[in-house]
């Protein structure tokens, strides 16, 4: 065999008489499958869960010279090894029959009513390798079943074959330790720690890892049989990660979401939002055009609504200044839909806004320093900056950060604390809430001041570094870490979750030389396709539009797939501003904070109803495919084309045509074609050369709270949004909580689990207290359904 | 209250415990030459000490009989290396480590210190069986005395090496006597075996290179250093050198621990030290090395105690727990009791052990109750074959080997309940009380969650 990479050490061995040469250290299971074309069946082996454990014993093979059979999963290929699998070894075959018989001894014969039936590894391997009958003559072991381990997952202990995949996921991948094995021997069972619900944000992955029907998603139980479903390959649009998924379609309904492993994006993991959240019930959806009449919002024919709206907007455009109309989006559109809205914006000379804050919107400028998601795996230093957990903006990135840390990367967290990553972080630099920008500015300044690789003429003075660093807490300590990493030619990665000015990040990337090598900056956008919307030209920040509305320079606004009242930290101002605006048009899936202020409301197509592409946070363009018809029967591409027609412009009515138009005009799509995007999209981006950025503007320190008030940390949580709020099985994931610093809790006499009420500008939040030793005192962290911020929250015991 | 003199008198060949009673006080121990081997060892290099161990040809006393010197030479290099002493003595019939700790704890401490010096270990952990509360307290006391005397927690005998020794109590799991399970437990994880590699010599306690030895092995080291490896190798047989503690129990006049040169035979132990069986009873079988080993028959009584001799006889010397079985014993119940233990102690990690030990036990219980069939006896043999050698660790083997040997050696007797419809043994037969008459009724085999 010559298919080996030159320079890597290889070993030559024989499996079932076939000689193969593989890289040293290859697992025997993998070598057999990939190089010798021999299947060695497995149950517990799953490389994504860490080192093999050799528990199920399904992969026993005979190795010449070994005194007994060996588990192939825990064996590395050795030079000269002669391996006989069950295919050629009587002894291995007998052991394999034995293992399957043992597994099935107490496994119920309920395949006909088991949801796993038909797509069950145990069933498949029993058919392929099993002895065909059982010699078990005694009554089977029974357990109470099914046991809900959360509102999303049920456990059937009788079906469990104790492969420990789920507990290894919980312990070694998500690192929550919530799923455990209890008791021992034949009475071993899977359980949740202390009988608490399995509430990890990634819990649903265990339902896919489970090789039997023991862990099943509640929502999919008794819903479908594998032969009556169609799995549609698509991309999750729950956040900007862009995890690849299968949508399981049965009789016109998406019943289930499965991961479709893209190693460079999601590694086969999904968060529970992506897996379980549904825009249901469909009959509560806005399914037709509505316009405000005498009795409120009333359905009206498409053409009537679109033509009237076009006329009104034309009138506004004619009477106002350029930019009197604003089209506001929030990453909910496909690139093709965004392209249509760009054309409409041009026709109306409208301004656009696609991200909450303009200053951090131009993340494309960071492309010279950008790192792909997969680079996290190889990072030596991982720095997370911001108030928010990365999970909240890009679900599965959390698992990648943990994986990097387990592999030896130094994890540094810079933020106010109270998140789940700090306990295992090598460095935790505590800052005030909202200090992300100061941190980055201080780091950039300090990097220059201590003689970073690229000293600028306008280097700040030592004094300004000190004051910036003081605002930022332990920035200098962090900088030392980064400098050491650079010096050792290693690869730092930076993850930014806060609204941080692009210019500051650019300055930092420049000062640290992050444009060279494998590492870099990974900004985490707020909207799922925020980056794609910008790439087709919907640029600008909500904050600019809000200011325009308040100043009266914007008199008409179209809000497409974004609820700025809930999703913006300035929700209250949005509400007041929209109430005074002449023309408010919204496109929404459900009635929400902005539809109630709109004169016209149009139906929004959501995931599984759209054909097109989206761009993830790396810039990877991926396909989304429809499983269902558009909610109104007319797709957004079709009705925007009609609307554009009333404005005398033409837009494509199909995604393929729209994509061609985008590829021809938008640089980020150059060279891409609709037909070659494929199911596992590559990242088609090249790093532009870094240019010396302008000096960062001094960041304003976060304002001090009034006496007795708390600084509020309420970034939009992962488990929020219209779909999450309507999904019953996610009830436990969105259950409110309040995180208080230990000092504050003691002062207020609040104990762990006590109900706490937090009043803030956007509303009132009541939940059980979590006490954090790391959260900065004087701050309170809540999982508010929207975005909120401020320095005047009040905290007190509820009741 | 004075301690009852429950310990056997020393024999002429005793070198581990050559005295009656106890020597728990450090003064007593030092007065009889204690801690002199440590002084000698501190004058030697690590390589010299390993060579001395190799010269002694000491084989591990925990059960597997792996040469202790070679094991020490395998320890991976590293800054932090640990010594772990396996005191989780849980194999039914084995109580020798307990005797060493009760009677001569400082001998173990001295052995630990010699080992620590040899590997310049970052620390030593004595993992002691949870039920050994008194023994753990005695060890704690001995460590405190050794600390006060300047052997622990401060530079050792004028060197700059500081040894530290800790006692860690188990929580009642037999499996934690298995080295990887012991280390998992010590590391704060669930007490279950892990796949090797990585071997403890590379990644053990706290994921650092770790040397793991049985209590008796470590306690023997001061003797070896004191008398010299070559002299030690002169005792016993060529392949099994020195003396070893044997725990003699069952139907024998004088049960107890006996230190025997490994050149002796089971007859020397059972008839000689043990005084033979009680009046009127005859030998039916004996367990040569702990309940997990295949039994030997009366005509094998002249088998040597040496590791290689027991293997030649078709069993294994194991931990040196010899259980004498007399003619009144019901072999069905004996097999059932043995299987029941291993089923109870199976950790549940790997399939053949978890499911196999339970199946074996339930089939034996069905057989004992008179409801079994001869086909099920053949099935039992086949299950044993499919468990043995196919598990993650040897606990499954520990259940399969004795059950198979009981059936093979006593097939007629095992089949008797099938023929009679009930176990033929009188209710006062040994082990009858283990399974009270309720088992005559259909068995409650269904376990609710």
**What whole-number percentage of chain A has pLDDT above 70?**
90
Residues 111-150 of A with CB under 8 A from B: 135-144
Which two three-digit tokens encode residue B329?
């014993």
Average pLDDT over residues B196-202: 93
A461 has pLDDT over 50: no
Task: Identify any residues that bridge with B131 across adjacent strands, giving them in sequence order.
Answer: none
Q: Give the pLDDT of residue B347.
A: 96
| Nearest Cβ partner for B348 among A95, A101, A184 | A184
A74–B348 C-beta distance less than 8 A: no
Residue A170, phi then psi, degrees to nearest 5: -65, -45
Would you call the peptide bond into A639 cis, given omega within 30 degrees of 0 as the criterion? no
Task: Identify any residues that bridge with A781 across adjacent strands, giving them in sequence order.
Answer: A713, A739
A457 has pLDDT over 60: no
A468 has pLDDT over 70: no
Judge whether A592 and A566 are in contact, CB under 8 Å.
Answer: yes
Average pLDDT over residues A443-448: 68
Which two three-digit tokens encode residue A733?
């994931």
Which of B199, B354, B399 has the most A C-beta neighbours within 10 Å, making it the best mutation to test the interface with A? B354
Q: Give the pLDDT of residue A495.
A: 73
B248 has pLDDT over 80: yes
Distances (CA, A) of A562 to A17, A512, A642, B221: 62, 36, 22, 76
Q: Which residues in chain B are contacts of A71 at CB distance < 8 A?
A: 195, 392
A295 has pLDDT over 80: yes
Which two three-digit tokens encode residue B197?
């590699």
More confident residue, A280 or A584: A584
CA-to-CA distance for A577 and A554, rounded, in angstroms? 10
Look at strands A621-624 and A612-615 and give their pairing: antiparallel
User: Burial, B195: exposed, middle or buried (Cβ in 10 Å; 0-12, 13-18, 19+)?
Assistant: buried
Helix (H, G, I), strand (E, B) or coil at A546: helix
Task: Identify any residues that bridge with A602 across adjacent strands, giving them in sequence order.
Answer: A587
Q: Give the pLDDT of residue A793.
A: 81
Q: Give the pLDDT of residue B322.
A: 96
Q: Determine how many CB atoms are found less than 10 A away from the CB of residue A494.
A: 28
> Angle CA(A577)–CA(A582)–CA(A585) in degrees, nearest 5?
85
User: What's the whole-number average pLDDT of chain B?
Assistant: 91
CA-to-CA distance for B89 and A704, rounded, in angstroms? 64
A583 has pLDDT over 90: yes
B418 has pLDDT over 70: yes
In this structure, chain B runs to a length of: 449
Q: Give the pLDDT of residue A698.
A: 62
User: Burial, B78: exposed, middle or buried (Cβ in 10 Å; 0-12, 13-18, 19+)?
Assistant: middle
A696-733 pLDDT, tens digit each: 666 666 778 888 899 999 888 999 999 999 999 999 99
In this structure, chain A runs to a length of: 799
Angle between helices B411-420 and B374-387 (to 10 degrees): 140
More confident residue, B350 or A1: B350
Distances (CA, A) of A490 to A411, A455, A518: 14, 21, 9
Which two three-digit tokens encode residue A504?
């500051």
CA-to-CA distance for B168 and A433, rounded, in angstroms? 44
- Cβ contacts from A onto B, under 8 A: 116
What's the pLDDT band for B424 if we cut at 50, 70, 90? confident
Average pLDDT over residues B418-446: 56
Q: Give the pLDDT of residue A473.
A: 53
Angle between helices B331-345 and B351-368 (to 10 degrees): 150
| Nearest Cβ partner for B355 among A55, A94, A186 | A186
Least confident window among A79-83, A332-336, A503-507: A503-507
CA-to-CA distance for A684 and A264, rounded, in angstroms? 13
Q: Give the pLDDT of residue B4.
A: 42
Least confident window among A384-393, A492-501, A537-546, B170-179: A492-501
A537-556 pLDDT, tens digit each: 999 999 999 999 999 999 99
Quick check: B441 contacting A, CB < 8 Å?
A: no
Q: Determine how many CB atoms are found less than 10 A away from the CB of residue B68.
A: 27
What's the pLDDT band for B1 if we cut at 50, 70, 90? very low
B431 has pLDDT over 60: no
Q: From B18, B400, B54, select the one nearest B228 (Cα to Cα).
A: B54
A203-236 pLDDT, tens digit each: 999 999 999 999 999 999 999 999 999 999 999 9
Average pLDDT over residues A258-285: 95
Distance from CA of A184 to the nearest CA of B (A): 5
Judge whether B224 and B69 are in contact, CB under 8 Å.
Answer: no
A174-192 pLDDT, tens digit each: 999 999 999 999 999 999 9
What burial letters (b/e) apply to B226-244, b meaning 16+ CB within 10 Å? bbebeebbebbbeebbbbb
| Nearest Cβ partner for A186 among B348, B389, B392 | B348
Task: Identify any residues that bridge with A362 across adjacent strands, giving them in sequence order.
Answer: none
Q: Which residues in chain B are contacts of A95 at CB distance < 8 A?
A: 386, 390
Q: Confirm whether pTM is higher than 0.90.
A: yes
Which two three-digit tokens encode residue A77?
């290929």
| Nearest Cβ partner for B447 among A103, A184, A187 | A187
| Nearest Cβ partner for A68 among B195, B343, B389 | B389
Q: Determine how many CB atoms are found less than 10 A away from the CB of residue A504.
A: 28
Judge whether A739 and A795 are in contact, CB under 8 Å.
Answer: no
What's the pLDDT band for A568 if we cut at 50, 70, 90? confident
A98–B390 C-beta distance less than 8 A: yes
Q: From A542, A546, A543, A544, select the one nearest A576 (Cα to Cα).
A: A546
Q: Determine how many CB atoms are found less than 10 A away from the CB of residue A629.
A: 12
A458 has pLDDT over 80: no
CA-to-CA distance for B68 and B65, rounded, in angstroms? 8
Q: Which residues contact B41 (CB under 8 A, 6 or more apart)?
A: B49, B113, B114, B117, B118, B225
A613-670 pLDDT, tens digit each: 999 999 999 999 999 999 999 999 999 999 999 999 999 999 999 999 999 999 999 9
Quick check: A99 contacting B, CB < 8 Å?
A: yes
Residues 68-127 of B with CB under 8 A from A: none
Judge whether A260 and A267 are in contact, CB under 8 Å.
Answer: no
More confident residue, A432 or A304: A304
Q: 3-state DSSP helix/strand/coil percent for chain B, to nearest 5? A: 45, 10, 45
Average pLDDT over residues A573-596: 94
- Nearest residue of chain B to residue A103 (CA atoms): B351
What burial letters (b/e) apply to A32-64, b meaning 16+ CB within 10 Å? beebbebbbbbbbbbebbeebbbbbbbbbbbbe
CA-to-CA distance for A550 and A576, rounded, in angstroms? 9
Q: Which residues contact A72 (CB under 8 A, 6 or more apart)?
A: A27, A28, A29, A32, A40, A59, A60, A61, A83, A85
User: What's the whole-number average pLDDT of chain A?
Assistant: 89
Q: Which residues contact B425 (CB under 8 A, 6 or more apart)?
A: B330, B332, B333, B432
CA-to-CA distance for A240 and A310, rounded, in angstroms? 32
Q: Determine how many CB atoms are found less than 10 A away from the CB of residue B47.
A: 10
What's the pLDDT band for B8 if we cut at 50, 70, 90? low
Judge whether A411 and A401 are in contact, CB under 8 Å.
Answer: yes
Q: Give the pLDDT of residue A25.
A: 87
Q: Give the pLDDT of residue B443.
A: 36
What's the pLDDT band for A459 if we cut at 50, 70, 90? very low
B259-301 pLDDT, tens digit each: 999 999 999 999 999 999 999 999 999 999 999 999 999 999 9
Average pLDDT over residues A761-776: 92
B315 has pLDDT over 80: yes
Q: Which residues in chain A are contacts of B389 at CB distance < 8 A?
A: 68-69
Q: Which residues contact A184 (CB under 8 A, 6 or more apart)?
A: B173, B175, B345, B346, B347, B348
> Could you tell me the end-to-end alpha-carbon distance of chain B, in angstroms, rounded to an integer?
47
More confident residue, B3 or A727: A727
B195–A53 C-beta distance less than 8 A: yes
Quick check: A172 contacting B, CB < 8 Å?
A: no
Q: Give the largest CA-CA distance in chain B.
A: 74
| Nearest Cβ partner for B392 among A54, A142, A143 | A54
DSSP A224: -
Q: Give the pLDDT of residue A489.
A: 54
Q: Which residues in chain B are contacts of A188 at CB distance < 8 A?
A: 347-348, 354
């Amino acid at each position: 065999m010559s298919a080996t990479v030159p320079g890597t050490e290889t070993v030559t061995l024989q499996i079932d008489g076939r000689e193969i040469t593989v890289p040293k250290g290859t697992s025997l299971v993998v070598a057999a499958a990939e190089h010798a074309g021999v299947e060695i069946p497995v149950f517990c082996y799953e490389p994504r869960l860490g080192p093999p454990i050799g528990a199920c014993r399904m992969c026993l093979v005979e190795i010449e010279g070994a005194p007994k059979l060996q588990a192939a999963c825990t064996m590395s290929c050795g030079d000269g090894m002669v391996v006989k699998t069950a295919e050629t070894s009587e002894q291995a075959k007998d052991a394999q029959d034995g293992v399957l018989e043992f597994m099935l001894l107490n496994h119920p014969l309920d395949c006909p009513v088991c949801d796993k039936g038909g797509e069950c590894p145990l069933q498949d391997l029993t058919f392929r390798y099993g002895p065909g009958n059982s010699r078990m003559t005694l009554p089977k072991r029974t357990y109470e079943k099914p046991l809900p381990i959360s509102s999303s997952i049920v456990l059937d202990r009788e079906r469990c074959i104790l492969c420990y995949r789920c507990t290894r996921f919980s312990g070694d991948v998500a690192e929550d330790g919530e799923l455990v094995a209890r008791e021992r021997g034949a009475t071993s069972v899977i359980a949740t720690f202390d009988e608490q619900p399995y509430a990890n944000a990634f819990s649903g992955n265990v339902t896919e890892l489970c090789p039997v029907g023991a862990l099943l998603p509640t929502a999919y139980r008794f819903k479908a049989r594998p032969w009556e479903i169609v799995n549609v390959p698509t991309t999750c649009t729950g956040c900007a990660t862009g995890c690849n998924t299968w949508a399981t379609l049965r009789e016109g309904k998406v019943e289930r979401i499965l991961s479709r492993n893209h190693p460079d994006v999601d590694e086969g993991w999904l968060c529970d939002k992506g897996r379980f959240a549904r825009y249901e019930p469909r009959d509560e959806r806005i399914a037709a055009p509505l316009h405000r009449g005498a009795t409120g919002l009333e359905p009206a024919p498409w053409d009537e609504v679109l033509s009237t709206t076009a006329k009104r907007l034309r009138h506004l455009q004619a009477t106002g200044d350029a930019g009197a109309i604003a089209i506001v989006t929030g990453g909910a559109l496909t690139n093709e839909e965004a392209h249509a809205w760009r054309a409409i914006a041009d026709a109306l000379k409208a301004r656009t806004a696609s991200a909450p804050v303009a200053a951090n919107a131009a993340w494309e400028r960071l492309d010279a320093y950008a790192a792909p998601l997969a680079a996290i795996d190889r990072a030596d230093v991982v720095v997370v900056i911001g108030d928010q957990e990365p999970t909240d903006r890009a679900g599965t990135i959390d698992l990648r950060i943990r994986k990097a840390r387990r592999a030896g990367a130094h994890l540094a967290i810079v933020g106010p604390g109270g998140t789940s990553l700090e306990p295992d972080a090598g460095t935790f630099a505590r800052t005030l809430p909202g200090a992300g920008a100061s941190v980055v500015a201080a780091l950039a300044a300090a990097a220059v001041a201590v003689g970073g690789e690229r000293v600028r003429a306008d280097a700040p003075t030592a004094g300004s570094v000190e004051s910036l660093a003081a605002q930022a807490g332990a920035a200098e300590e962090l900088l030392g870490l980064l400098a050491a990493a650079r010096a050792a030619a290693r690869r730092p990665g930076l993850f930014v979750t806060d609204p941080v000015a692009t210019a500051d990040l650019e300055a930092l990337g420049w000062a640290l030389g992050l444009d060279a090598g494998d590492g870099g900056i990974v900004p985490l956008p707020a909207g799922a396709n925020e980056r794609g919307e910008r790439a087709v030209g919907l640029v600008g920040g909500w904050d600019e539009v809000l200011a325009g509305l308040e100043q009266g320079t914007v008199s008409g606004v179209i809000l497409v797939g974004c609820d700025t009242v809930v999703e913006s930290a300035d929700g209250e101002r949005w509400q007041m501003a929209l109430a005074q605006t002449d023309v408010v048009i919204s496109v929404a899936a459900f009635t929400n904070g902005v539809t109630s202020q709109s004169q016209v409301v149009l139906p929004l197509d959501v995931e599984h109803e759209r054909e097109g592409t989206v761009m993830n946070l790396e810039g990877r363009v991926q396909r989304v495919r429809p499983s269902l018809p558009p909610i109104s029967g007319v797709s957004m591409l079709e009705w925007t084309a009609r609307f554009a027609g009333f404005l005398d412009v033409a837009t494509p009515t199909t995604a393929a045509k729209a994509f061609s138009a985008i590829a021809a005009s938008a640089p980020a799509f150059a060279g891409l074609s609709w037909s070659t995007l494929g199911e596992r999209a590559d990242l088609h981006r090249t790093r532009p050369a870094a240019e010396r950025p302008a000096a960062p503007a001094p960041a304003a320190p976060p304002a001090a709270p009034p006496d007795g008030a708390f600084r509020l940390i309420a970034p939009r949580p992962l488990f929020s949004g219209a779909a999450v709020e309507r999904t019953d099985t996610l009830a436990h994931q969105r259950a409110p909580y309040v995180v208080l610093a230990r000092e504050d809790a003691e002062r207020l006499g609040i104990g762990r689990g006590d109900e706490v009420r937090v009043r803030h500008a956007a509303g009132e939040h009541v939940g059980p207290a979590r006490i954090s030793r790391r959260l900065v005192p004087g701050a309170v962290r809540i999982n508010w359904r929207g975005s909120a911020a401020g320095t005047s929250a009040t905290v007190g015991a509820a009741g | 209250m004075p301690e009852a003199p429950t310990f056997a008198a020393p024999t002429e060949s005793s070198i581990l415990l050559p005295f009656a009673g106890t020597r728990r006080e450090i003064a007593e121990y030092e007065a009889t030459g204690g801690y002199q081997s440590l002084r000698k060892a501190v004058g030697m290099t690590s390589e010299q000490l390993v060579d001395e161990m190799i010269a002694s040809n000491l084989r591990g006393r925990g059960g597997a009989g792996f040469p202790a010197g070679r094991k020490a030479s395998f320890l991976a290099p590293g800054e932090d290396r640990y010594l772990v002493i396996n005191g989780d003595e849980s194999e039914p019939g084995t109580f020798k480590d307990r005797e060493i700790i009760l009677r001569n704890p400082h001998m173990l401490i001295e052995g630990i210190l010699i080992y620590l010096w040899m590997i310049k270990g970052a620390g030593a952990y004595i993992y002691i069986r949870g039920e050994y509360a008194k023994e753990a307290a005695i060890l704690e006391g001995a460590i405190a005395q050794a600390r006060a005397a300047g052997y622990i927690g401060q530079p050792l005998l004028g060197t700059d090496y500081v040894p530290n020794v800790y006692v860690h109590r188990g929580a009642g799991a037999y499996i934690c006597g298995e080295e990887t399970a012991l280390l998992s437990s010590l590391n704060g994880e669930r007490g279950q075996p892990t796949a090797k590699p990585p071997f403890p010599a590379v990644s053990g306690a706290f994921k650092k290179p770790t040397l793991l030895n049985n209590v008796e092995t470590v306690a023997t080291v001061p003797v070896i250093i004191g008398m010299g490896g070559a002299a030690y190798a002169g005792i016993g047989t060529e392949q099994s050198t020195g003396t070893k503690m044997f725990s003699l129990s069952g139907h024998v006049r004088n049960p107890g621990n006996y230190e025997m040169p490994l050149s002796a035979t089971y007859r020397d132990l059972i008839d000689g030290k043990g005084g033979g069986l009680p009046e009127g009873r005859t030998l039916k079988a004996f367990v040569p090395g702990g309940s997990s080993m295949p039994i030997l028959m009366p005509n094998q009584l002249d088998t040597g105690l040496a590791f290689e001799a027991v293997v030649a006889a078709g069993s294994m010397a194991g931990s040196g727990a010899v259980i004498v079985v007399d003619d009144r014993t019901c072999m069905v119940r004996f097999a059932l009791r043995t299987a029941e233990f291993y089923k109870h102690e199976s950790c549940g990690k790997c399939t053949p052990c978890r499911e196999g030990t339970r199946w074996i036990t339930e089939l034996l219980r069905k057989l004992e109750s008179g409801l079994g069939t001869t086909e099920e006896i053949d099935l039992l043999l086949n299950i044993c074959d499919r468990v043995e050698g196919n598990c993650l660790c040897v606990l499954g083997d520990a259940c399969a080997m004795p059950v198979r040997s009981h059936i093979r050696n006593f097939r007629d007797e095992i089949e008797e309940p099938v023929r009679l419809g009930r176990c033929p043994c009188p209710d006062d037969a040994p082990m009858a009380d283990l399974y009270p008459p309720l088992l005559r009724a259909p068995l409650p085999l269904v376990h609710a969650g």
